[in-house]
Amino acid sequence: QVQLVESGGGVVQPGRSLRLTCAAAGFTLSSNAMHWVRQAPGKGLECVAVISNDGNNIFYADSVKGRFDISRDNSKNTLYLQMNSLRAEDTAVYYCARDLSSDVWSGYMDYWGQGVLVTVSS
């Protein structure tokens, strides 16, 4: 069955970097666009970044543009989120989610990981 497992979260100081990893199983990652969605404690959902199935199309939320970098290694069935210059407001649970689309993206997120907590604090 489809599984997405995030890792790499933790506590980090403001200004530092962290890389999240999302390992996919049960399907071929190259078949789907992928998203990173975050949820600050007690808050709603925010789409942080999305990448097409082949990696050629990427979109970032304004809140992370220039600081975060989404990438994928289809040969390893793995999605990444490199987060630089972290701020307190980046504190959230980060989810990776699979897009129903096999092309660019549709926005329909049919499978989600369990989420990983990133805490930015001095």
Residues near other proteins, by CB under 8 A: 35, 37, 44-47, 50, 59, 61-62, 95, 97, 100, 105-110, 112-115
User: Which is nearer to other proteins, 74 or 101 (by Cβ)?
Assistant: 101
Nearest distance in Å: CB 56, other proteins: 15
Burial degree of 24 (CB within 10 A; 0-12, 13-18, 19+): buried
Nearer of residues 14 and 31 to other proteins, judged by Cβ: 31
- Pairing assessment for the beta strands 34-39 and 92-99 based on DSSP bridges: antiparallel
CB-wise, 44 or 66, nearer to other proteins? 44
Nearest CA among 117, 79, 111, 116 for reference residue 98: 111
Question: Measured from the CB of residue 89, what is the shortest distance to other proteins in angstroms?
Answer: 16
What distance lies between CA 7 and its chain's CA centroid? 10
Q: How far apart are CA 6 and CA 52, in angstroms?
A: 19
Nearer to other proteins, 5 or 14 (CB): 5
Min dist CB 112 to other proteins, Å, is 4
